């Protein structure tokens, strides 16, 4: 379960690879592209020889929202892209976690900018629809 406020979680009754495909498609439907894909299991195996369950970090970005936010403050770039994780659930299926944009833009001076709060709210609404679409498909 995701720590309160940090993000939201969806459990899918599908295998890991299918879950990654479903998540990518759901993100695309809400205007997010996947800019980065970090295969955590492969990276840990290569770098330190450690075995880890299938786990990927997808760096998702909605270019229109990113553009609006970056026009307000270059510091926003430190919080981008929105991270979405997909992992194989040891009990079966997969677990998806989506970072909460309110939290990402809710620190320091960024938290006091009304325009950025609006961008974060729109991003959160879109990502909540991603989570809802994943739940509905499962």
| HEC profile of the chain | CCCCCCEEEEEECCCHHHHHHHHHHHHHHCCCEEEEEEEHHHHHHHHHCCCCCCEEEEEEECHHHHHHHHHHCHHHHHHCCEEEEEEECCCCCEEEEEECHHHHCCCHHHHHCHHHHHHHHHHHHHHHHHHHHHHHHC
Beta bridge partners of 61: 33
Which pTM does this prediction carry?
0.91
Instruction: Give the range with max mean pLDDT: 13-27, 62-76, 113-127.
Output: 13-27
Q: How confident is the model at residue 65 (pLDDT cuts 50, 70, 90)?
A: very high
Structure tokens at 96: 């998806």
CATH superfamily membership of 7-137: TT1751-like domain (3.30.310.70)
Overall average pLDDT of the 68-90 stretch: 93
Q: How confident is the model at residue 138 (pLDDT cuts 50, 70, 90)?
A: confident
**What does the pLDDT read at residue 57?**
99
Give 137 or 89, the one with higher predicted confidence.
89
Overall average pLDDT of the 56-78 stretch: 94
Per domain, the residue ranges of the chain are 7-137
Q: How confident is the model at residue 127 (pLDDT cuts 50, 70, 90)?
A: very high
């Amino acid at each position: 379960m995701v720590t309160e406020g940090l993000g939201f979680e969806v459990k899918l009754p599908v295998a890991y690879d299918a879950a990654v495909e479903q998540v990518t498609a759901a993100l695309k439907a809400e205007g997010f592209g996947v800019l980065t894909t970090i295969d955590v299991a492969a990276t840990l195996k290569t770098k330190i020889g450690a075995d880890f369950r299938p786990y990927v970090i997808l760096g998702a970005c909605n270019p229109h929202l990113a553009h609006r936010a970056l026009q307000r403050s270059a510091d926003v770039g430190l919080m981008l892209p929105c991270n979405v994780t997909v992992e194989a659930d040891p009990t079966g299926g997969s677990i998806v976690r989506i970072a909460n944009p309110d939290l990402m833009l809710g620190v320091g001076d960024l938290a006091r900018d009304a325009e950025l709060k609006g961008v974060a709210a729109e991003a959160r609404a879109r990502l909540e629809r991603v989570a809802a679409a994943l739940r509905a498909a499962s």
